[in-house]
Chain A
Amino acid sequence: MSRTGTAETNYLNAQHGLKSWLLTLDHKRIGLLYLMGVSFFFLLGGIFALLIRLELLTPQGDLVQPDTYNRLFSMHGIMMVFFFLIPAIPGVLGNFLIPIMIGTRDVAFPRLNLASWYIFMAGGSITLLGVLAGGVDTGWTFYPPYSSLYSATNVLTVGIGVFVNGFSSILTGLNFMVTIHRMRAPGMTWFRLPLFVWGHYATSFINVLGTPVIAITLLLLVLERAFHLGIFDATKGGDPVLFQHLFWFYSHPAVYIMILPSMAVISELIAAFTRKRVFGYHFVAFSSIGIAVLGFLVWGHHMFVSGQSVYAGTAFSLLTMLVAIPSAIKVFNWSFTLYQGSVSFDTPMLYALGFIGLFMIGGLTGVFLGTLGFDIHVHDTYFVVAHFHYVMVGGTIMGYLGGLHYWWPKITGRTYPEFWGRMSAMLVFVGFNLTFFPQFLLGYMGMPRRYHAYPEEWQVLNVLSTAGASVLGLGFLLPLGYLLWSLKYGKLAGKNPWGAKGLEWTTDSPPPTENFRDAPVVSEEAYDYAGAGHGDGGAPAPARAH
């Protein structure tokens, strides 16, 4: 990996040795450190998922004990949500790209950036310790009084692990906000920013404002469990539903922490593989902000059947409906970007198109669930499981993998085998739908989530789901293989293998430590493929043959 074919030094070969990585202040190297961290936790969470699906192959609950099963789905959720979905795109792609995209040398606080990674790894390690000591069986939602008084598992260790990890999100969010505000290259105005940066800017706000709430909530839970304070204990005058309010006040916006960076990636991919400015740039940018703001006002839809008053439920239902609007605006704008584009079907674009399909279904079923009268029946069933996997896996992982493929030549200087890339995109799309679509049907038929055993009439759909999960697993393993292979054997990528716009494609692949040999000055709009200046309906396309 040290020889890249160019005589110049780059961020990978500028320094050598383990210490140069563990003490690096280079945002690009820190991005790669995150890549290793999140990949490990993803693999772990994936193994738990595999065991869950194997158990559900038969109705009886005969592969593992109920206790074990409960730990499996809890650890699957905790690993995937807190240590993969939340940090993956900002940690890996955000860190690597934001400074380059805005034309600067590094993030505003490089030491803080490295500290974020160490905090992330510390939180992950503490959680892992809890896993090795026997795991936790509360579900990733930690609802008391089960978690505070009844569970005999490692709630304290895992709770502290997740608590610690939260500070990593807060510090990364802070770092990105300051970087985007203060470090933009000359000429890089707010409305010349790539939409990737807008998406991460919105995400950073949620991280900074929302994550402290989950930190406080988990701290209260830890204190409640250790010292029996009574905050969530009804026998002491406390209220278990209070925990749910606090938990979802963060954890619903957390869904947007996962999906906004993915949407940010999708905007880049659609622009690059249509060679066209993203349709309705301002609307796409502000819809990210809209989602971030509205996302804080909808937490109560997780409690429609929790004994919350019907009036509160009605208000939260209405607000939930509104959060669908900025998402719809994004989908329509992306789709319309293809109109008069120059559309190519490289691997990242296949992931992006797959994202649109899966996110449509995930988003629309979110409207279903926001509909009060519908939610009561499917609340806490597999319908909900299917919905949030469509949003979080179909949304976030499609964006993450699409982005990883798109910027892989920039990150490593090498290209991967295109055939296998397309195969993986298709396997993931097909496998994903086969895994999760049957779960919508199971949920409507009444299968509750977190069930270790289930009535026999639901076996066929469960077998389909497990079959889909195997295809999905293969789709995830393929990139692991060929991306590692490409590090040594991949063709040299050159500066701009996709013919894409954006400052990151003007520098070397891999970039030098200081990102640019000459500090860039920006004089054009983002995605100015048509050469129309500001793209406001200017000259007709010079190259698009009709």
Chain B
Amino acid sequence: MPFKIPFMPEQASSMAGEVDALTLYLVAMASFFTVLVAAMVIYFAIRYRRRSPDEVGGSFDNSALLEITWTVIPVLIVLFTFVWGARVAFRLYRPPADAVQYYVTGKQWMWKTQHPTGQREINELHVPLGQPVKLLMTSEDVIHSFFVPAFRVKADVLPGRYTSLWFTPTKTGRFHLFCAEYCGAEHSRMIGWVTVMEPEEYQAWLASVPTQGSPTAAGERLFAQLACHTCHQDAAGAKGPALGGLYGRPVALADGRTVLADESYLRESILNPAAKVVAGYEAVMPSFQGQVSEEGILELINYVKSLPAGGSASVAAASEGAL
């Protein structure tokens, strides 16, 4: 927008303008009705003010035409409003295909973020200008909510589940990050900054931050450390299904259901393996609840996602059999 509208936060994402346009429409619609009713009430109140103590009102007290008018017009307006709002929301919910995934873990009372290249930050997130960013988020304790007003995005961050949001930054600078879901004593200090940088600057910044390698590499180390490979191997008679190419595919379960192997499924299978047992396997896997941190689980998932499809015959066969 060419001029700054008062009381609107900065527009720093590709969606901010769309949300603000919706807002301006809503304000215009509400102002119209408020002025209409206020004008009607004030005019009638003065025009028909009581002029003698025992005066009574007239008998014109119903009109089907008026009732239909002030029912049908609002119905049309709210339906129009609904459609506009839903269209904006669907775009806010669905990340573009080229979005790069970052990771966010909320805990009382800080935001822990991780870049796809492994760099970690606390209460800060640096992102390059113009790059669609998808955040995969979870909480270590209570419910939090990731909110960047300048991007017009918000999503609750839940324990035991992944939620996500996305944005494409369109302006460099530092923007407020808030926790929007009440989370305890220091809720109002669970705040931070999202810094948007020119892509070259961002690369330089990345290089300046020490990292222990990508989440995938960290996941591989953890995978070995927890001895996951003793069961999850690509060999006949293995106790657990092979994991290569698993991510994003349908999996047939022992109880006949088929589920999509997304992040939430992988997470649940690590923490509560008995909940969804793959067809053809026994429920022998122990839970890793309490043994791996939320970041560790994300790293393991990253590693599993990176495994190539080659030689994952058992999983593929099981899923195709079910389809």
Contacts and interface: CB of A to CB of B under 8 A. Distances in A.
Interface stretch (A214-222, A274-282, A467-475): A274-282
A545 B55 contact: yes
Contacts of B289: 235
A535 B59 contact: yes
Interface in A296-342: 304-307, 310, 313-314, 317-318, 321-322, 324-325, 328-329, 331-333, 335-342
B186 interface: yes
Contacts of A360: 33-34, 37-38
A143 B143 CA distance: 8
A444 B85 CA distance: 16
B160 interface: yes
A448 B54 contact: no
A445 B20 CA distance: 11
Contacts of A518: none
B283 interface: no
A325 B55 contact: no
Contact of B71 (A281, A325, A361, A537): A325
Interface string A426-469: 00000000000000010011101111111100000000000000
Contact of B158 (A240, A365, A543): A240
Interface in A328-375: 328-329, 331-333, 335-345, 353, 356-357, 360-361, 364-365, 367-368, 370-375
A237 B273 CA distance: 11
B145 A380 contact: yes
A451 B147 CA distance: 14
Interface stretch (A33-41, A82-90, A145-153): A145-153
Interface in B34-75: 34, 37-38, 40-41, 44-45, 48-63, 66-67, 70-71, 74-75
A356 B37 contact: yes
Interface string B12-41: 000000110011001001100110011011
B281 interface: no
B277 to A, nearest CB: 15
B189 to A, nearest CB: 7
Most chain A CB inside 10 Å of its own CB: which residue of B61, B108, B147: B61
Interface in B126-169: 141-143, 145, 147, 149-150, 152-156, 158-161, 163
B93 interface: yes
B141 A444 contact: no
Contacts of B88: 372-374
A279 B154 CA distance: 43
A532 interface: yes
A275 B74 contact: no
A240 B159 CA distance: 8
Most chain B CB inside 10 Å of its own CB: which residue of A139, A274, A317, A446: A446
A190 interface: no
A331 B33 CA distance: 11
Interface in A151-199: 151
B221 interface: no
Contacts, number: 306
A342 B50 contact: yes
B178 A446 contact: yes
A372 B187 CA distance: 25
Given A150-B108, A325-B71, A371-B26, A357 B60 contact: no
B82 A234 contact: no
B141 A150 contact: yes
B22 A444 contact: no
B62 A280 contact: yes
Contacts of B74: 324-325, 328
Contact of B188 (A139, A446, A451): A451
A19 interface: no
Given A61-B188, A364-B33, A372-B85, A529 B154 contact: no
B18 A367 contact: no
A544 B82 CA distance: 43
A76 B153 CA distance: 29
Nearest to B59: A530
Contacts of B258: none
Contact count band on B: 35 or more
Given A150-B141, A276-B57, A453-B188, A373 B84 contact: yes
A340 B38 CA distance: 17
A190 to B, nearest CB: 17
B117 interface: no
B181 interface: yes
Contacts of A353: 41, 45
A453 B78 CA distance: 36
A150 B30 contact: no
A535 B61 contact: yes
Contact of B44 (A310, A338, A448, A544): A338
A545 B62 CA distance: 20
A445 B40 contact: no
A381 interface: yes
Interface string B175-206: 01011111111111100000000000000000
Given A306-B156, A541-B59, A321 B34 contact: no
Contacts of A441: 7
Given A61-B188, A281-B62, A380-B181, A307 B23 contact: no
22 contacts: A67-B185, A70-B185, A146-B182, A149-B142, A280-B61, A305-B154, A317-B82, A336-B66, A338-B41, A360-B37, A372-B85, A373-B19, A373-B86, A376-B152, A381-B180, A446-B149, A448-B188, A452-B188, A529-B56, A541-B57, A541-B59, A545-B52
Given A66-B186, A374-B26, 16 more contacts: A70-B184, A70-B187, A275-B57, A279-B61, A307-B163, A314-B86, A325-B74, A328-B74, A342-B48, A357-B38, A374-B85, A380-B147, A446-B9, A448-B180, A529-B56, A544-B58
